[in-house]
Chains A and B, each alone.
Chain A
Amino acid sequence: QTVVTQEPSFSVSPGGTVTLTCGLSSGSVYSTYYPSWYQQTPGQAPRTLIYSTNTRSSGVPDRFSGSILGKKAALTITGAQAEDESDYYCVLYMGGGISVFGGGTKVTVL
């Protein structure tokens, strides 16, 4: 069974930069997996941040960017703000109608 891996947690200082990654238990992540990223705060529905590796969804600040770094997809927050403190999830499309979420990364801004 495919497992999508994410770091459990990250801490970043206000104004700092943090890069979250999204990998596969076996193999590399390519753009053909159409990596997407979502932000979720407690009690709220997810918010779409990035799709197709590096395209920002409408209204998403440009401090959020997506890329492929080595064998993983990555979400970078440049100039983190207090309101960026959230859980972040990646999704990889495995083909055949199947999508798989990563376990999520809790980002703390302090």
Chain B
Amino acid sequence: EVQLVQSGGGLVQPGGSLRLSCAVSGLSVSGNYMSWVRQAPGKGLEWVSTIDSDGKTYYADSMEGRMHLTISRDIAKNTLYLQIRTLRADDTAVYYCARRTPLTAYFDSWGQGTLLTVSS
């Protein structure tokens, strides 16, 4: 059974940084495409980033301009990460990790979500 267990959310001051974690079991992060999706309060889902099985990374156009996000993985820990720097209030959201299938490009397994609140 595939399980994605998230941690690392919380309350952070504007300008700070945070790393979200997604511990994966039942599949290897190194052999799969792994993604982050976020949902601001009362808003819809938004794809944030994907790392493919070769380690190549992709980011949503809306994130590219700020260059404040980094998706990464630790193969030994079988864990996916999202590092967010220079946090702003509009980064406040529930962040979900998900496995994305390589060819048919859909999200077939989801973490439980973790809330990041950026506020002073």
CB within 8 Å of B: which residues of A? 1, 34, 36, 38, 40, 45-48, 51-52, 57, 87, 89, 91, 93, 96-104
Contacts and interface: CB of A to CB of B under 8 A. Distances in A.
Interface in B34-50: 35, 37, 44-47, 50
A97 B50 contact: yes
Given A36-B107, A45-B110, A91-B105, 8 more contacts: A51-B104, A52-B106, A91-B47, A91-B106, A98-B60, A99-B50, A99-B105, A102-B44
A34 B45 contact: no
B112 A45 contact: yes
Contacts, number: 67
Interface of B: 35, 37, 44-47, 50, 52, 56, 58, 60-62, 96, 100-101, 104-108, 110-113
A97 B113 contact: no
A104 B45 contact: yes
Query: What are the 8 tightest A-B residue pairs by CB atom distance, in nearest-first order?
Result: A97-B58, A93-B105, A36-B106, A51-B106, A104-B44, A45-B110, A99-B47, A34-B105
